[in-house]
Amino acid sequence: MTMVDHRQPWALILGASSGFGEATALALAADGYDIAGAHLDRKAGQVRVDELKRKIEAHGQRALFFNGNAADDEQRASVVAQLGEEFAGRRAAEGSPYVRVMMHSLAFGTLKPFLSLDPGAAINRKNMDMTLDVMAHSLVYWAQDVWRAGMFDDGSKIYAMTSEGSTRMIASYGAVSAAKTALESHCRQLAMEFGRLDAGVSV
């Protein structure tokens, strides 16, 4: 006998306004997911985000979007809190929302060479730290907060977007390459620790 899953699946997409994040939001909305998207866009980019929200809502799904720095601790906490309020409202109405998919698709890093006679043209500590924090370490912090908020459930999945740059040498790609390598390592560690919760992690 086939069991029917009556839970309400959500997708939390980090970097939702363009590229893989946007495409995933639309595909999952068409498949019945409500969408929570974190993005960082100026006023001109907000027009694209508004159109994306309309497309999601045209599928009959909820579209909650948050414009801000997804790598910032306070802004991350604010998004998780607001999503928690949304879930609490659904549960009060006898719903069962949960984050079925969390996707990390943050692409904001420094493309500078390590070596240059001009110090301003070479990567520095601030560039390196920012790239690693946004494109790798932020995955861990989001996973921690969403888990602690009780938003994951049996069958939840976390996906992170890597690139061939993690193993291939590309000019001026050193910081991003390091971030992608760290991201893959973080996923392996999260996969081990989430295994006991039946929440698989895929890259």
Q: Percent of the chain, pLDDT > 70?
A: 97
Torsion of CA 50, 55, 56, 60, to 10 degrees: 130
N-to-C CA span, the chain: 33
- Summarize pLDDT for 116-135 with one digit per residue, the tens: 999 999 999 999 999 999 99
Is 40 in contact with 16 (CB distance < 8 Å)? no
What average pLDDT does this structure show over 154-168? 88
- What is the band of 1 on the pLDDT scale with cuts at 50, 70, 90? low
CA 176 from chain center: how many Å?
17
Is 152 in contact with 146 (CB distance < 8 Å)? yes
- Integer Rg of the chain from CA: 18
Phi, psi of 133 (to 5 degrees): -65, -50
Is 127 in contact with 110 (CB distance < 8 Å)? yes
Is 71 in contact with 138 (CB distance < 8 Å)? yes
| 36 pLDDT higher than 60 | yes
What average pLDDT does this structure show over 59-73? 97
Length of the chain measured in residues: 203
Choose the weakest-confidence range: 14-18, 29-33, 162-166.
Answer: 162-166
CB atoms < 10 A from the CB of 119, how many? 7
Q: Which two tokens stand for residue 5?
A: 């899953």
Could you tell me which CATH number the domain at 8-202 has? 3.40.50.720
Looking at the DSSP bridge assignments, the partners of residue 34 are: 10
